[in-house]
Structure 1
Amino acid sequence: MMRVHGGSDAQGVPRWDFSTNANACGPCPAVAAELREADIGRYPDPGYRALRGALAAFHGVAPRRVIVAASASEFIMRITACLARAGGQRVWLPAAAYGEYAHAAHAWGLARVDDPVQADLCWLCEPASPTGAAEPQWEAVIRRDAVVVLDRAYEPLRLSGASLLRSEDADRIWQLWSPNKALGMTGVRGAYAIAPLHAQAWIDRLEQQAPAWALGAHAVVMLQAWTQAETQAWLAQSRATLRAWKAAQQDLLGAWPSLPSDANFFCMRAELDAGFLRSRGIKLRDATSFGLPGLWRLSVQPPAAQTALRDALDAAGASREPGRPKRAIPLGGTARSAKGAS
């Protein structure tokens, strides 16, 4: 299976990158400063006891329930492997979803089923990727006795709405967190999962399958900084900025229909020349690999990037729907631009 992702490619780093969902306000300055001071001359504690304690306190759980991972993708592969080795045979995942869920299932020979009731392993992501919306089969999945993993990569970047996860269900499922997106530093790899309340056997399996020193010094620093009040205050401030930018960006692209989204990204339907846009330094995410042909996923980007996108679309002569005239778009990114944000 060929992996398809946004971001850097054979042509290098896009000047205006709408293809990945990292926080466009980042990197978080406070965390970046701590990363510059990271001690790279020594091994981290292989048990990550201080880090797991900080993450546990941040989420209000026991430290034994915190599983550190080299990345969200590494955890996806590891828990799928543990499921397969325990005799699991079937997986359910949303119709349009992050490709690593299917990649891991394929690698370990799990059959994909259409009904979550038949699955041994179920995946959820909310807000969902690529749409940024809620998963319509939430109730059917969250109430399953199977291994259920909720990928919460974009919960810190939620710009509207509220999580469907109820407090009474939070201790029954796995919650996977990858803060590097919210911090705007996807080049630093590191993630963690919160185990269900009564899952010691699964915790043991996952720990046995983990490589030694899954996290390097930079990942440890990033995840510890994630729990700090200063970092969370910056994140809250960035969400306000992203709401304003999102309103302006959706206004800019208002001639093309877009899907509802609560996150810092959304999908729109359009016929676009990706090669031409890339030649102008702009990269969007073709949603075909998500199973959504004809749709493009765009992350919310700052005013300068939006101006470049508008100019490139005009230069490409991208067709608009009949009756939708070209409009002047305010790109100031101020709070007044937040009108109509979703």
Structure 2
Amino acid sequence: MTQRAHGGPDASGQSPFDFSTNANACGPCPSALAAVLAADARSYPDPAYRALRDSLARHHGVDVARIVPAASASEAILRITARAVQRGVTGVSVPEFAYGDYRHAAEAWSLPVHARGQRHAAGAATLAWACDPSSPLGLADAPAASVAASTLVVDRAYAPLRLSGADPWRAHAGLAWQLWTPNKALGMTGIRAAYLIAPEGGEDEAAALDRLAPSWPIGSHGVAMLDAWCHDEARTWLAQSLDTLRAWKSAQQALCDSLGWQPLRSDANFFVARLPEGTPADLLARLREQGVQLRDCASFGLPGHVRLGVLPPPAQQALADAVGGAAGGSGGGATTMHAPNPWK
């Protein structure tokens, strides 16, 4: 099976300057954090999540029967794949560059995986994954580009963190499953909780997914976070944070340009950069030793590229300094934000 690779803490612990994950760097959202801290950890949550389902349904303007709580996006991916197998799916379609858990879940069921655009057998029942926007590239899969599928799921983890571009799925939201993981937008990825919205008319399938869930897939802290997500305070904070992220992203892309790292187009709060020819193979390990962590894109099928979540100016300066240190730092001092590429 494909080995799963993720950003974030590793065996060395949390990096002081972690560009490898895509959480909202303005977080945590104050109102969501307050709700989590006030959650009652002494008691089980309602196993049916009735109040939470009502809040999420009102938030999205859908019938409550279409809401399916999940322990996390990864748990939801595994569960919806299992349900697709029950329904006779014989193949899985994924974007060319995408989060590895889609493929992992398919391989767990010995399902063949096809990159978007590859042909499937005529009449084959297919589970198709689309992203809005995707990781690592931060670009949306257009509805027209999605294959005809027995089950279509749009992963909208980063839709709330869109910094540019239009939402291509707004007019098509009722045609596909939607997977939402607000912990990223709220800057609270340590709280694991997510939910699915079934397509219009998909209430029976939502109930079937519920039957595949363990008891209490979300704990009291996850319930508190998801409920806070539905309130005006969180939405106002998120909207304000996007302006800050846009400014930070522009500065971070300019820094990458100055280092000779070519930023690729992205609409989200993260982007991929192509490293220059001659970059040492152990660059990321050397940067990690200096407290700066980047996401190697080789596991996405993009060797020679790194993904960088947008972080505030002090972290960007730490990146510039670490690159200078990894290159041997000619003069022994710290680099500037616009240091020349040391490997040219």
Q: Please report the TM-score for the alignment, with normalisation by the length of structure 2.
A: 0.89
- Tell me which residue corresponds to 2:163: 159
- Tell me which residue corresponds to 1:235: 238
Deviation at 1:110, TM superposition (A): 1.1
2:134 is aligned with 1:128: yes
Which whole-Å CA distance do the structure 1 matches of 2:158 and 2:298 have between them?
21
Which whole-Å CA distance do the structure 2 matches of 1:170 and 1:135 have between them?
13
- Tell me which residue corresponds to 1:265: 270
- Residues 288-316 of structure 1 show CA distances to partners (whole Å, capped at 9, x for unaligned) of 00011111000000111000000111222
- Structure 2 contact 89–150 (Cα < 8 Å) conserved: no
SS at match of 1:305: helix
2:9 is aligned with 1:2: no
Show structure 1 runs of 5+ residues with no match: 320-325, 331-342
- Give the ranges of 4+ consecutive aligned residues of structure 1 lying more than 3 Å apart after TM superposition: 115-119, 326-330
Deviation at 1:140, TM superposition (A): 3.3
- Residues 54-87 of structure 1 show CA distances to partners (whole Å, capped at 9, x for unaligned) of 0000000000000000001000000100111221
Computed over aligned residues only, the root mean square deviation of the Cα atoms, in angstroms, reads 1.9
SS at match of 2:22: coil
Count of matched residue positions in the alignment of Structure 1 and Structure 2: 321
Which whole-Å CA distance do the structure 2 matches of 1:212 and 1:134 have between them?
34
The structure 2 residue matched to 1:174, chosen from 143, 158, 177, is: 177
- Structure 2 contact 8–14 (Cα < 8 Å) conserved: yes
Which whole-Å CA distance do the structure 1 matches of 2:214 and 2:182 have between them?
21
SS at match of 1:171: helix
2:147 is aligned with 1:146: no
- Tell me which residue corresponds to 1:53: 54
- Structure 2 contact 317–336 (Cα < 8 Å) conserved: no
- Tell me which residue corresponds to 1:301: 311
- Residues 78-98 of structure 1 show CA distances to partners (whole Å, capped at 9, x for unaligned) of 010011122111010011100
2:258 is aligned with 1:251: no
The structure 2 residue matched to 1:289, chosen from 299, 308, 323, is: 299
Which whole-Å CA distance do the structure 2 matches of 1:94 and 1:187 have between them?
26
- Tell me which residue corresponds to 1:44: 45
Q: Please report the TM-score for the alignment, with normalisation by the length of structure 1.
A: 0.90
Deviation at 1:266, TM superposition (A): 0.3
Deviation at 1:3, TM superposition (A): 1.3
- Structure 2 contact 321–336 (Cα < 8 Å) conserved: no
Residues 163 and 318 of structure 1: CA distance in aligned 2, closer, same or farther (over 3 Å)? farther
Which whole-Å CA distance do the structure 1 matches of 2:170 and 2:237 have between them?
26
Which whole-Å CA distance do the structure 2 matches of 1:104 and 1:202 have between them?
19
Which whole-Å CA distance do the structure 2 matches of 1:282 and 1:108 have between them?
37
Q: Greater CA deviation, 279-288 or 193-202?
A: 193-202
- Residues 173-204 of structure 1 show CA distances to partners (whole Å, capped at 9, x for unaligned) of 00100000001110000000110011233112
- Tell me which residue corresponds to 1:216: 219
Which whole-Å CA distance do the structure 2 matches of 1:316 and 1:148 have between them?
44
Amino acid at match of 2:319: L
Deviation at 1:166, TM superposition (A): 4.1
